[in-house]
Amino acid sequence: MSVATAVTNVSKKMSVKTLLKLIHVAVRNRRARKFLLKQMEKRMFEDLIKANPYNRPVKVQEDKYYMGRALLRRIDKVLTEGHLSRKATE
């Protein structure tokens, strides 16, 4: 294994660990979760509606955005109301 491959593997492992820690914090912390969900909604809007890389009909892209946004908001509501056990969030 070359040094570059080893560095890449370590970097990927670190980024996955960092991402998992961020998700764990977001599940437990309402402010962090709200911030991340808002950023995800913005990114979905940019990617699906504004960019529309495959030139699909705008209404189709809007439907995808609204469905994705509804799922994200429902996940937030479930976490906020405590309908998810602690074991499920670990």
Task: Check pLDDT > 60 for residue 4.
Answer: no
Two tokens at 9? 């593997």
* Range(s) of the domain holding residue 17: 3-89
Domain count, the chain: 1
More confident residue, 14 or 28: 28
| DSSP reduced 3-state for 20 | helix
- Residue 73 vs residues 25, 39, 44, 62, 89: alpha-carbon distances, Å: 17, 12, 13, 16, 17
- Please name which of 80, 78, 69, 62 lies closest in space to residue 37, comparing C-alpha atoms: 69
pLDDT bin (cut points 50, 70, 90) of residue 13 is low
pTM: 0.71
Residue identified by tokens 């009909």 is 57
Task: Give per-residue pLDDT as tens, 35-66.
Answer: 889 999 999 999 999 999 899 999 999 999 99
